[in-house]
Amino acid sequence: MDQNLLGLFFGTVLAVIVVSGQFHLGRPIVDSPEAHAIFAAAERNRTPDGFLTKVELDDIFQTFDHNMDGIVDEQEFIYIWRSRHLGDISHAITLFHHADTDRDDVISKVPDLTRVFYYFDRDQDGKVSEEEFVLVWMSLSM
């Protein structure tokens, strides 16, 4: 294989790695402090085993359900986001609308939370690793 073709091949492979956002054992090149903070908070609520379960995702939901009515509207979501200093408000709005999977202007446990869990659980093993959480979070907030 000539040098130019070899260089083109490796350049293409490197570009695919960069575009896919993965480098160093599958970790994202650009990181998300807010994603790590939310993941860590959920882990503190239950067992700090490095994975989120459906129960732990429910804990996150309860945190955002400020008025405890069983649903999270956009105002509640933004209020908790700000009060916990989780990052840019534009990310909060984007994430809220992604989590509202049935487009009824609220996040509910069924169907929204169920769908969100399965979306974050990229390998479908019934739990969400921190790496899965951060990668999906970043893809949703961009």
pLDDT along the chain (142 residues), means of 10: 48 42 48 81 76 87 94 96 88 90 96 93 94 87 60
Assess whether 4 and 55 both reside in one domain: no
Query: Do the strands 71-73 and 128-129 form a parallel or antiparallel pair, or are they unpaired?
Result: unpaired
> How many CB atoms neighbour CB 80 within 10 A?
17
Which of 113, 118, 141 minimizes the C-alpha distance to 128? 118
Number of domains the chain is built from:
2
Residue/partner pairs of 106-109 with CB below 8 Å, 24 or more apart: 106/71, 106/72, 106/73, 107/61, 107/64, 107/71, 107/72, 107/73, 107/77, 108/70, 108/71, 108/72, 109/58, 109/61, 109/70
Same domain, residue pair 124 and 66 = yes
pTM over 0.85: no
Q: Are 22 and 72 in the same domain?
A: no
Residues 19 and 65 grouped into a single domain: no
Q: Which domain holds residue 21?
A: 1-29
Claim to verify: residue 55 and residue 67 sit in the same structural domain: yes
CA 122 to CA 120: how far, in whole Å? 6
- pLDDT score, position 38: 78
Which H or E run includes 72?
Answer: strand 71-73
